[in-house]
Amino acid sequence: MDAAHDLDFEWIHIAYNEAAAFVETYGFAGNQGAVNLEGLLIRPRGVVSDTLIVMMHPASTLQLLPVPRAAAQRGAHVLCAASRYARNDTAAILEKVVLDLGAYIRHAKYVLGYRRIVLLGWSGGGSLALFYQSQAENPTITHTPAGDPVDIRHANLIPADAVVFQAAHISRARLLLDIIDPSVNDEHDPDGRDRRLDIYDAGNPNRPPYSADFLLEYRAAQLARMRRITNWVKDCLEDFRNKGGAEVERGFITHRTLADPRFLDARIDPNDRRAGWCYLGNPETVNTGPVGLARFSTLRAWLSQWSIDDSQADGLKCVAKINAPLLVVENTADDAVPQPHARMVFDAAVSLDKRFEQVKGATHYYAGQPELLAQANRMLFDWMEERGLAAR
């Protein structure tokens, strides 16, 4: 039986200087000449360790979710590191999130005294972990996709000693490409739709199981819609630059962003997921609801996070630049991450020390599956133990 330690929680505050050209977030998170970050260090009571598992999601806090707590209860020290965009990714620039993650890892090494860092990227944190590690091992970035300076190249990022990619997608942009609704004809009118491409329209003659021809048409239309939005974003930014005034940024809404045929047709990229359902509930409801992926965005955030052609946080490209030991874990009933993503990341990895594991029957959040979450933790701890990274 797995150990179940009592837990201690310590609030972590990190501040570092940054000169911002304009205010992009509400509150004290970059608009006063400094970035302020809040994290939570979770430690099993009575267990000493010189290894720290660091977890970050670009737009969420993780301490209330099952993965970090379960790891800590089993004996790991875990830092849930919130970026400056915690709980609101509207303006998130992933290059700046990398700098935030770097600040946490530096704090963990030089203030908290941990010798070794395991970067655990779960869900949306997976592609972020790969993005960070690729730049920590081989820093190259000096500008965001919008052309704004962000000097990662000289940021002295500290590489993690190992990386875990767990129930995670290739990138935010790739995930959006897989799930965006291509039926929208006019970005300003969510009700103006092509019924042949609206998989939730009862009058659509294309029904599950979908034909190969329909899926080819559907995927092409998804890519076309993504690129139309990107072209509009770039036109707006160029117009602002040409005008030379004080207007430099704009927020906008992207309607209907959760319409992956895989949610309705379980025979597409089959796994153990439940048909007609997704990690946020009924996919038709989520498609138009306020929590849809990329629903609210700024121009710069779109290019950094969501543009399939511009985002620098592409997991396949990043993992091909990482030498650190890599563990890839696929949940076989994942109802958020498309089934091929984990294997694609593993196949693209060049690390000489890489491993692929599956947790059979596990959903994205391990909801109601404590035994499968425990199994995932055993995989993680055994892998860490083999590499001398276990708690000690």
pLDDT in tens, 284-301: 999 999 988 999 999 999
- pLDDT given for residue 27 in this prediction: 60
Residue 1 binned pLDDT confidence (cut-offs 50, 70, 90): very low
Q: Does the pLDDT of residue 24 top 90, yes or no? A: no
Per-residue pLDDT tens digits for 126-152:
999 999 999 999 999 999 999 999 999
12: which strand partners?
Answer: 39
Per-residue pLDDT tens digits for 185-227:
999 999 999 999 999 999 999 999 999 999 999 999 999 999 9
3-state SS class at 364: coil
- pLDDT given for residue 29 in this prediction: 58
Q: What is the helix (H) or strand (E) element at residue 286, kind and residue range?
A: helix 283-288
Model pTM?
0.96
Per-residue pLDDT tens digits for 32-44:
678 999 999 999 9
Q: Does the pLDDT of residue 391 top 70, yes or no? A: no
- pLDDT given for residue 9 in this prediction: 97
Q: Does the pLDDT of residue 392 top 90, yes or no? A: no
* Percent of residues in the chain assigned helix, strand, coil, to nearest 5: 35, 20, 45
Per-residue pLDDT tens digits for 341-363:
999 999 999 999 999 999 999 99
Q: Is there a contact between 9 and 41 (Cβ–Cβ < 8 Å)?
A: yes
Q: Which of 310, 143, 291 is nearest to 233 (CA)?
A: 310
Q: Is there a contact between 184 and 255 (Cβ–Cβ < 8 Å)?
A: yes
- Token couple for 189: 């009118």
Q: Is there a contact between 389 and 116 (Cβ–Cβ < 8 Å)?
A: yes
Class of domain 7-171+313-386: alpha beta
d(CA 105, CA 88) in angstroms, rounded, equals 22
Residue 28 binned pLDDT confidence (cut-offs 50, 70, 90): low
- pLDDT given for residue 220 in this prediction: 98
Vertex 124: Cα angle to 356 and 8 (nearest 5) = 90
Per-residue pLDDT tens digits for 65-121:
889 999 999 999 999 999 999 989 999 999 999 999 999 999 999 999 999 999 999
Domain boundaries defined on the chain: 7-171+313-386, 174-306
Average pLDDT, the chain: 95
H-only helix segments in 93-211? 94-110, 125-137, 172-179
Residues 6 or more apart in contact with residue 211 via CB below 8 angstroms: none
The 8-class DSSP code of residue 106 comes to: H
- pLDDT given for residue 23 in this prediction: 78
141: which strand partners?
Answer: none
Percent of the chain predicted with pLDDT > 90: 91
Q: What is the helix (H) or strand (E) element at residue 35, kind and residue range?
A: strand 34-44
- pLDDT given for residue 223 in this prediction: 98
Residue 21 binned pLDDT confidence (cut-offs 50, 70, 90): confident
Q: Does the pLDDT of residue 3 top 70, yes or no? A: no
| Strand extents, DSSP E, 116-176 | 116-122, 162-166
d(CA 120, CA 53) in angstroms, rounded, equals 6
- pLDDT given for residue 160 in this prediction: 98
Q: Which of 109, 99, 91 is nearest to 37 (CA)?
A: 99
